Structure 1
Amino acid sequence: MALWDRIKESAQTMQTQLEAKKNDLKSGSFRDASMAMCALVAAADGSIDQAERQRVTQLITSNDVLRNFPPADLQRRFDDYLNQLVADMAIGKVGVLQEVAKAKKKPAEARAVIQIGIIIGGADGNFDAQERAVVREACFALDLQPQEFDV
């Protein structure tokens, strides 16, 4: 099976798992950590172009699990985290990872945040090494083992 097919299949499996837990994923910490995770993945290569920003925004607003939250609120939070990363990648990354870490109190939410990161990372058909690396860092911030998610 080609790498893209495995990524696509994995993202679909994770989306199905998330949808099954949708009713348990309504907290503010999950919302914030998810948007922080999306920003980290979008900025993983060190730059954020407008097309990438729009693609991630579209994925956020169309994701069934994230429909628990108002789309405008998700968009604002995502943009805020991206702006932190753009302003100063090193300092911004620390702050954004701290937002991700707030979900670690609830293991189901923590795992869902990682799954959302993987779904976002694989959405363009290329879950590259830099995206995998930020998802791995998020796993450590959430006290999860990266191997559980194959990153």
Structure 2
Amino acid sequence: MALWDRIKESASTMQTQLNAKKNDLKSGGFRDASMAMCALVAAADGSIDPSERQRVTSLITSNEVLRNFPSDELQRLFDDNCQKLTSDFEFGKVSVMQTIGKVGKKPAEARAVVQIGIVIGGADGDFDKDEQGVVREVCFALGIPPEEFDL
């Protein structure tokens, strides 16, 4: 199977798993951590270009699980996290990782945040090394073996 197909299949599988847990993923902590993860994946290479920001915004508003929350709220959280990461990537990353870390004591939410990162990273068919790297870092921060997600 071509790499492109494996990436698309993995993102699709993650989305299916997320949809199955939709009713369990309604906490503010999950919402905040998910938007932090989206921004982190978007900024994985150290910057966020406008087209990438728009693509991630479209994915956020169309994601079935994230529809548990008002889209304007998600947009604000995503933009706030993007701002932190673009003004000073390393300092912003610390803040974003702290937000993500808050779901660490809730295994279902923690795994769902990782899955959101994989879905966002793989949505364009190119889950690149930088994106994989930040999702792997999140796994370590949440105490989840990256191998669980083939990272």
1:18 corresponds to 2:13: no
Question: 1:131 maps to what in 2?
Answer: 131
Aligned length: 151
Secondary structure, counterpart of 1:103 in structure 2: coil
Q: Which amino acid aligns with 2:27?
A: S
Match of 2:6 in 1: 6
1: distance between equivalents of 2:34 and 2:149? 16
- CA distance in 2 between counterparts of 1:27 and 1:44 reads 25
Once superposed, what is the RMSD of the aligned Cα atoms? 0.5
- TM-score, structure 1 as length reference: 0.99
Report the AA paired with residue 80 of structure 1: D
1:30-109 alignment, distance < 5 Å: 30-109=30-109
Q: Does 1:147 align with 2:147?
A: yes
> What runs of 5+ residues in structure 2 fail to find an aligned partner?
none
Normalising by structure 2, what TM-score? 0.99
Confirm or deny: 8 A CA contact 1:101 1:142 kept in the other structure.
yes
Instruction: Mark the runs of 5 or more structure 1 residues left unpaired by the alignment.
Output: none
- Structure 1 residue 141: Cα displacement: 1.2
Shift of the alpha carbon at 1:95?
0.6
Aligned to 1:117: 117
Paired with 2:33 and 2:4, the residues of 1 have a C-alpha distance of 26
